[in-house]
Structure 1
Amino acid sequence: MLNALEVITTVLVGLMVGVEFSVAFVMNPIFNALPDDSYLLARAHGGRMLGAVMPFWYIGSLVLAAVWAVAGWHHHGTGLVVTAAALLIVSVIMSVLLLVPINNQSKTWTPDNRPADWREQGNRWDRFHYARVAVIVAAFTLLVAAL
């Protein structure tokens, strides 16, 4: 049973890392190359779509890592899993405090109602997102090492 939990947790976190890495280094650069109105609409749509899914994915990943840490407390690699869970906590805190407030605003923007500093807010979200990607990549790496 512990083996299944380890695999499910690692795959779920790995998929999350892949999606977030893709957003940071594939999708957003593509969106940035679009004309302003198209860029804005693409980012708003992405914010709505991923903003609906990611809270469950982040919290679910954290819960699974915590369960793994508890269930495997006396097994090899538990310290790595605990550290990974701590990093996932950091990623959730970063999301709630830094990224979600910007996303909640930007997902409602249209070419007609965007604020004057919409590009700067998007760039700020990107910088926070790069940091969050680094945190979840580190968490994923620790989970893989704990296997």
Structure 2
Amino acid sequence: MLNAVQVFTIVVVGLMVGVEFSVAFVINPILNALPGDSGQLGRSHGGRMLGAVMPFWYVGSLVLVAIWAVAGRHHGGTGLVVTAAALLVLSVVMSVALLVPINNRGKAWTPENRPEDWKEQANRWDRYHYVRVAVIVAAFALLAAALV
């Protein structure tokens, strides 16, 4: 049973990390390079789409890691799993406190109603997101290390 939880958790967290890495280093740079209002419209759509899914993915990942930590408390690597859980908690706190407020504003923007500082707000979101990606990559690495 523990092995199934470990594998499922690694897959779920790994996919989340991959999506967030892709947003940071592939999708947003592509959107930023588009002409006219296309990039901002793409960010708004992405904010609506991923904004609806990611809260469940982050919390679900954290729950899976907590289950792993409890179920595997008498096995090696538990300290790494607990540390990964703490990093995932940090990523959730960062999301709620820093990224979600910007995303909630940005997902409703159109070329007609966006604020003058929309690019500055998007850049701030990107900077926070880079840090969050580093945090969840570290959590994923700890989970992988806990398996060996």
TM range (shorter): over 0.9
Q: Write out per-residue CA displacement over residues 99-119 of structure 1, whole angstroms, 9 at most, x where no aligned residue.
A: 000000000000000000000
In the alignment, what sits opposite 1:43? 43
Partner of 1:16: 16
Question: Scaled by the length of structure 2, what TM-score is found?
Answer: 0.99
Whether 1:74 and 2:74 are equivalent positions in the alignment is: yes
TM-score (norm 1): 0.99
What is the CA distance between 1:8 and its match in structure 2?
Answer: 0.3
Aligned counterpart, 1:2: 2
Work out the CA distance in 2 between the residues paired with 1:109 and 1:9.
35
CA–CA separation in structure 1 for the residues paired with 2:36 and 2:141: 37
1:62-113 Cα distance to aligned partner (Å, 9 max, x none): 0000010011001010000000000000000000000000000000000000
Corresponding residue for 2:27? 27
C-alpha separation between the residues in 1 aligned to 2:74 and 2:36? 54
d(CA) in 2 for partners of 1:126 and 1:145? 28
Aligned to 1:91: 91
Show the counterpart of 1:140: 140
Measured in 1, the distance between the counterparts of 2:140 and 2:65 equals 10
Cα RMSD (Å) of the superposition? 0.4
Quick one: which amino acid aligns to residue 107 of structure 1? Answer: K
Whether 1:125 and 2:130 are equivalent positions in the alignment is: no
Q: How far does residue 36 in structure 1 lie from its aligned partner after superposition?
A: 3.5
Alignment partner of 1:113: what SS? coil
What is the aligned length? 147
